C-alpha cells in the first residue's frame, strides 16, 4: 500500500469514528428526550415527584463520566433508588423496570464484590410481587458473601412474610447463616426471636443463651431465657 493510500485509509477511519461518535451522541440525546417526555407525562406537576426526578437526572449526568468506581457505584445506587421511589409513589411499572435495570447493571458491573445491588434488586422485586426473582437475588448475595448476615435475614423474611414457606424452611436459612458466621449479632437475634415466636422453646432457649454469651448482661435476653425455661 502506497503512502498516499495509507493516509487515505487513515482519514476514512477517523471520519467513520467521528461520524459514529456524533451519531451515538445524537441517539443518546434523543433517548434522553424521549425518556423525559415519558416521565413528565406520568408524574405531571407534582412537586414531590419532580424533586425525585431531578435526583434521577443528576445521577444520570454523573454516570456519563464518573471520576472513579466509588462515584459510579454511589450514583448507580442513587439512580436505582430514586427510580424505585417513583415506582412506589406512582405504582407505575415503567419506573419499576427502570429501577430494576439500574440494579441489574450494578450487579453486572460490581455484584461480584458489592452485594448491595443484589439486596436492592431483591427488595424491589419483592415489593413488586416477583418473589421468585427476589429469592434468586438474595440467594446470589449469600453465595457471593456467605458470612454476611443480611442476605440470610432478607431471605428468611421473604419466606416468612411473602412466600409463606414452612417453619423448617425459615429455620434452615437462619441455621445456614449461623453456620457461616456464628457470632453475627443481628442473625442470632432474628433466629432466636423467630424460634420463640413459633413455640420452639427449647431451641429458642439455646439461641438466647448464645445471644447472652455474645452480649453479656443484656436484660432482655436474660428475661427471654427465663421465659423459655418456664415453658419447658
Burial class from Cβ neighbours inside 10 Å (0-12, 13-18, 19+) for residue 139 reads middle
pLDDT at 25: 44
Cell of 103: 440494579
DSSP state of 54: H
Please tell me the distance from the alpha carbon of residue 214 to that of residue 35, in angstroms, as a whole number. 52
Cβ atoms of residues 155 and 138 within 8 Å: yes
Closest listed residue to residue 43, CA positions, set 90, 101, 111, 106: 90
User: Are 187 and 178 contacting, i.e. CB atoms less than 8 angstroms apart?
Assistant: yes
Residue 8 has pLDDT above 90, yes or no: no
Q: Report how far residue 25's alpha carbon sits from residue 37's, in angstroms, rounded to the nearest whole number.
A: 18
Lowest-confidence range among 7-16, 144-153, 189-198? 7-16
Rounded to whole angstroms, the Cα distance separating 141 from 145 reads 6
Mean pLDDT of the chain: 91
pLDDT tens by residue, 21-57: 444 443 555 666 788 999 999 999 999 999 999 999 9
230, with CB counted inside 10 A (0-12, 13-18, 19+), is exposed
Using one digit for the tens of pLDDT, what is the confidence trace for 87-121? 999 999 999 999 999 999 999 999 999 999 999 99
Question: CA 146: distance to chain centroid?
Answer: 16
CA atoms of 41 and 32, how far apart (whole Å): 14
| Residue labelled with grid coordinates 445506587 | 77
**pTM for this prediction:** 0.84
- Amino acid 33: pLDDT: 76
Percent of the chain residues topping a pLDDT of 90: 85
Amino acid at each position: 500500500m502506497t503512502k498516499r493510500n495509507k493516509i487515505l485509509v487513515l482519514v476514512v477511519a477517523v471520519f467513520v469514528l467521528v461520524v459514529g461518535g456524533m451519531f451515538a451522541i445524537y441517539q443518546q440525546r434523543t433517548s434522553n428526550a424521549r425518556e423525559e417526555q415519558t416521565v413528565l407525562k406520568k408524574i405531571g406537576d407534582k412537586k414531590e415527584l419532580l424533586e425525585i426526578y431531578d435526583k434521577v437526572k443528576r445521577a444520570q449526568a454523573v454516570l456519563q463520566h464518573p471520576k472513579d468506581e466509588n462515584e459510579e457505584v454511589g450514583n448507580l445506587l442513587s439512580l436505582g433508588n430514586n427510580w424505585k421511589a417513583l415506582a412506589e409513589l406512582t405504582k407505575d411499572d415503567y419506573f419499576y423496570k427502570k429501577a430494576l435495570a439500574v440494579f441489574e447493571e450494578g450487579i453486572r458491573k460490581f455484584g461480584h464484590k458489592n452485594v448491595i445491588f443484589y439486596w436492592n434488586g431483591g427488595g424491589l422485586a419483592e415489593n413488586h410481587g416477583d418473589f421468585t426473582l427476589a429469592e434468586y437475588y438474595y440467594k446470589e448475595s449469600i453465595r457471593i458473601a456467605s458470612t454476611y448476615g443480611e442476605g440470610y435475614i432478607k431471605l428468611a423474611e421473604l419466606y416468612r412474610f411473602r412466600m409463606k414457606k414452612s417453619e423448617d424452611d425459615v429455620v434452615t436459612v437462619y441455621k445456614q447463616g449461623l453456620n457461616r458466621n456464628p457470632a453475627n449479632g443481628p442473625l442470632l437475634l432474628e433466629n432466636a426471636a423467630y424460634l420463640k415466636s413459633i413455640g420452639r422453646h427449647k431451641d429458642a432457649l439455646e439461641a438466647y443463651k448464645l445471644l447472652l454469651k455474645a452480649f453479656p448482661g443484656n436484660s432482655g435476653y436474660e428475661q427471654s431465657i427465663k421465659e423459655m425455661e418456664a415453658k419447658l
